[in-house]
């Protein structure tokens, strides 16, 4: 990896990302149950029915983990706070231990010279709210606003940046249409409501954080490049529809106050009454846009009900996830999102990385290559005028990869899930060489 910091604009920030349920160990410290616990306990949902009960035991090993962040030379650390750790019932009485934990964590980052970048929701919805319909329920924005206030009254004075919701597409579509993530629904009406309520909740959380005097607030969306599987008009139309659902719906809401026509074709009849009136909330001004990027899909038309989209076999080398390695997609999203949506706002690549079947002592060369090619894509986007201001690797360490359990290793640091020992990989050393310089 022959970069230096001088190969990027002055002030460009490098960081690593994690999320609460994937690393903390949810059974510790008085957290309440979440829909990921019940989803994982249901046979067939998660590989070996693994859950986040222990995960990396970051709850107890956070100081060692923050030392790893510091020693890597990271400027910024993107972490998430767990709603169910802060409010075990979702609403009502806060868990003092949980608030203390995030307080210590933020102070721990500052003490190590690392900027804290908080995300308020990275998917583990408190079970009590899931029981009330979760993201389908129109009261979610109120509950989320209350949670935002409780946690940010405690740490909001010290976090460097904050974003409400990680990857609205996963919260809405993947979890309610494809059923791949908790709560595992496959229901178009639930999908439409979840996708809209996620955005309203985002807007309410931004309002709350502004009222607390916080700044540097953003939104973190995920993007997947959609290439038509052939030149046939039907495949081209399918790829456009896929792109609209995945990549343009949330940006449309956040930056234009409108949803793409190709999505309304299917979801329109299922949106909650009066959805058009919510854009004033959804469009709360932002300070930056976060882009999570991993891969692209080859999309083809399939007959049957909307959205008529299917995947065609991939053509490029794959990661352990079976995801195509396609760095051009990152470059093209950074350019397109700025041109068509976020304008001059700084863009951060808030997640990028790959899973690889690493052991604690084999060099993870494929990850070094992946990161190198994607950092080049970032440079190309900057050269083309995209205002990219930072880049975070997913992830600091191997962790709970949701429905794929502990098998898919995304970390710069290897975690032995029996002993919980951490061992920095070759990719960690490669990044540290120029991040620390
Ligand atoms: C993203 C998620 C993150 C992790 C990576 C691989 O979609 O935000 O939690 O699962 O993918």
> Is there a binding annotation on residue 402?
yes
- Between CA 213 and CA 209 the distance in angstroms is 7
**Domain residues of the chain, as ranges?**
5-435
- Between CA 305 and CA 284 the distance in angstroms is 35
Domain 5-435: what homologous superfamily? Glycosidases (3.20.20.80)
- Between CA 112 and CA 105 the distance in angstroms is 11
Pairing of strands 76-80, 115-121: parallel
Given the CA of residue 222, which atom of ligand 1 is nearest to it? 7
Using a cut of 0.75, tell me whether the model's pTM lies above it. yes
Residues involved in catalysis: 167, 351
> Is there a binding annotation on residue 311?
no
Counting ligand 1 atoms within 8 A of each CB, the residue from 16, 79, 402 with the most, and so the one to mutate, is 402
pLDDT tens-place string over residues 268-323: 999 999 999 999 999 999 999 999 999 999 999 999 999 999 999 998 999 999 99
239 C-alpha vs ligand 1 centroid, how far in Å?
Answer: 23
Average pLDDT of the segment spanning 118-141: 98
pLDDT tens-place string over residues 366-412: 999 999 999 999 999 999 999 999 999 999 999 999 999 999 999 99
> Using an 8 Å Cβ cutoff, are 66 and 108 in contact?
yes
Whether residue 421 has a cis bond before it, omega within 30° of 0: no
């Amino acid at each position: 990896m022959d970069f230096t910091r001088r190969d990027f604009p002055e002030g460009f920030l490098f960081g690593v990302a994690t999320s609460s349920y994937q690393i903390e160990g949810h059974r510790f410290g008085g957290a309440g149950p979440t829909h990921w616990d019940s989803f994982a306990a249901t046979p067939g949902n998660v590989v070996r029915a693994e859950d986040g009960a222990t995960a990396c035991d970051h709850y107890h090993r956070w100081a060692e983990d923050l030392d790893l962040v510091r020693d890597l030379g990271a400027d910024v650390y993107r972490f998430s706070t767990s709603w169910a750790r802060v409010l075990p019932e979702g609403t009502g009485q806060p868990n003092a231990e949980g608030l203390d934990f995030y307080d210590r964590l933020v102070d721990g980052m500052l003490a190590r010279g690392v900027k804290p970048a908080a995300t308020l929701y990275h998917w583990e919805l408190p079970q009590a709210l899931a029981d009330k319909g979760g993201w389908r329920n129109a009261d979610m924005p109120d509950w989320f606003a209350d949670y935002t206030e409780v946690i940010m009254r405690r740490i909001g004075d010290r976090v460097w940046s904050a974003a409400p919701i990680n990857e609205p597409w996963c919260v809405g579509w993947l979890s309610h249409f494809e059923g791949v993530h908790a709560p595992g629904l496959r229901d178009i009406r639930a999908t439409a409501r979840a996708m809209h309520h996620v955005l309203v909740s985002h807007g309410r959380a931004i309002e709350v954080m502004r009222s607390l005097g916080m700044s540097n607030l953003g939104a973190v969306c995920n993007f997947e490049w959609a290439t038509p599987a052939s030149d046939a008009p039907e495949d081209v139309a399918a790829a456009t529809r896929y792109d609209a659902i995945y990549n343009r719906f949330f940006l449309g809401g956040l930056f234009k106050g409108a949803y793409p026509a190709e999505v309304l074709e299917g979801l329109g009849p299922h949106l909650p009454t009066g959805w058009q009136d919510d854009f004033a909330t959804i469009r709360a001004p932002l300070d930056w846009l976060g882009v999570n990027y991993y891969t692209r899909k080859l999309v083809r038309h399939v007959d049957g009900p909307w959205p008529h989209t299917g995947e065609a076999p991939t053509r490029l080398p794959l990661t352990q996830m079976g995801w195509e390695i396609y760095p051009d997609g990152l470059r093209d999203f950074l350019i397109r999102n700025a041109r068509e949506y976020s304008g001059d706002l700084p863009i951060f690549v808030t997640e990028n990385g790959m899973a690889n079947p690493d052991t604690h002592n084999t060099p993870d060369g494929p990850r070094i290559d992946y990161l190198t090619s994607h950092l080049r894509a970032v440079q190309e986007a900057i050269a083309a005028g995209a205002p990219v201001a930072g880049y975070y690797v997913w992830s600091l360490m191997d962790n709970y990869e949701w429905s794929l359990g502990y098998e898919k290793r995304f970390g710069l640091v290897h975690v032995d899930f029996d002993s919980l020992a951490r061992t920095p990989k070759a990719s960690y050393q490669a990044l540290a060489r120029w991040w620390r310089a």
